[in-house]
Structure 1
């Protein structure tokens, strides 16, 4: 189940030169069985390492931060969206391939367009922060995600990865009495809000991957990833490290396109390449 304490992506007006990295190249959708980015062959001195630029919404959240770190480790350029640039500067890696922007997904699509313009892909790892506002889940997890999708459509960004949650469609799964479904929906119908955002993404025409993790832990992985089709898993947990790994791998795997996947980890699960797991899921 998705965490309910994540960073909310934000933005104010910035000159384009401060918003975007230098000339982003077209996204290269490749995936290796070992879940690593292909490196140039030593036998081909002229081979050039392909780079891409990814906007990460919710970059200072506990999952978003790990997404940023893994993207940088895999050679991506990253534009990190955050409500607090100072916090992001202190908590995110010092890296020449990382740029920070202030971007607020709740302020509407028009204000997000310049933040995502020129990006090859967007990873949305936002989540509302607990507050006295009963509408916070809808402002962030529904309308905020919709705003980000619409900004991508306006800016011509065609690849979108969303970190959502298992049980978002719990009612249709006969899980309405599942304690986790009840608890998360007590917080402003969080899962219902996430499901509405998912539906919008699926209608948008954007090449999407929706990743629905189980209960999120901050501990190192204690098992291997299990990936199932949508509306399959209703219990289980997974390390945020593994969630970030799946989100980043989705950008590299054409097998991940137009799919909703649910993930947890189990100690007795086999260690399978993510490419193979994505390929085993039926396309929506």
Structure 2
């Protein structure tokens, strides 16, 4: 499949590109800056310069599915979070629908279901994710919404726990394992039109996703 990746130059996005290309997919890396094209090519992706906060129609030529892995980053304030994680995601969902995209995979966050219950300094982030998730749910697109816990840069384990709503949300998950889950959610029947939470656990990713 031809997969458009929003947030391709982020930590998770770069890992995702490698995994998609290893699986035989064509990764189309959406990046904001021309100078990032060389890095994307080295990773095996086709770079497409497009800004989430502007028109992205040109990025959708010959695209089968979208993975939204973009984020404003922890060093930005609430306004930038709203611009990227909420408004940028919503705009991309609308453009994907206009272009008849087959499936949209959203990298969300644990805590997006009830933003008001999160710690005060994170509520704007959870609210942005919540609003983007709700827009995708109501878009009419085929979707998968993945809500990981705390992301780490540790070596991936290949083992997770995945449930619609985890009873115990304490823990973390590696970006590498999240990238695999995102990629595996593209065409797997068990993840179609599903929202689920993930942490590192003791179940192989393939098995965990099949039992959602």
TM-score (ref. length: structure 1): 0.69
Candidates 107, 116, 129, aligned match of 1:163: 107
Corresponding residue pairs, total = 212
Q: Higher mean Cα deviation, 231-240 or 58-67?
A: 231-240
SS in 2 for 1:79: strand
Separation in structure 2 between the aligned mates of residue 171 and residue 88 of structure 1, nearest angstrom:
36
**1:137-152 to 2 correspondence within 5 Å?**
137-152=81-96
What's the offset of the Cα at 1:132? 6.0
Contact 1:124 1:161 in 2 (8 A): yes
1:254 matched to which residue of 2?
189
For structure 2, the 5+ residue unaligned runs are: none
Displacement of 1:94? 4.7
Q: CA RMSD in A?
A: 2.0
Closer/same/farther in 2, CA of residues 60 and 118 from structure 1, 3 Å limit: same
* Partner of residue 197, structure 1: 132
Q: Whose RCO is larger (CA < 8 A, sep 6+)?
A: 1
CA 1:224–1:131: 2 relative to 1, 3 Å:
closer
Alignment of 1:173-188 (within 5 A): 176=117, 181-185=119-123
Answering whether residue 46 of structure 2 is matched by residue 99 of structure 1, we say yes
Task: State the match for 2:203 in structure 1.
Answer: 270
Q: Is the 8 A contact 2:68 2:107 kept in 1?
A: yes
In the alignment, structure 1 residue 217 sits paired with structure 2 residue 152: yes
**Structure 1 residue 116 corresponds to structure 2 residue 60:** yes
Larger radius of gyration: 1
SS of residue in 1 equivalent to 2:126 = helix
Q: Which residue of 2 aligns with 1:72?
A: 21
Structure 1 residue aligned with 2:141: 206
TM-score normalised over the length of structure 2: 0.91
> 1:214-243 deviations in whole A, cap 9, x for unaligned?
100011025721101146553210000000
Q: In structure 1, list runs of 5 or more residues that go unmatched.
A: 1-51
Aligned to 2:69: 125
Q: Is the 8 A contact 1:117 1:152 kept in 2?
A: no
Query: Which string of whole-angstrom CA distances, capped at 9 and with x for unpartnered residues, describes residues 34-89 of structure 1?
Result: xxxxxxxxxxxxxxxxxx11000000101111111110111111110011232342
* 1:239 alignment counterpart: 174
Secondary structure of the 1:220 match is coil
Between 67-76 and 111-120, the greater mean CA deviation after superposition:
111-120
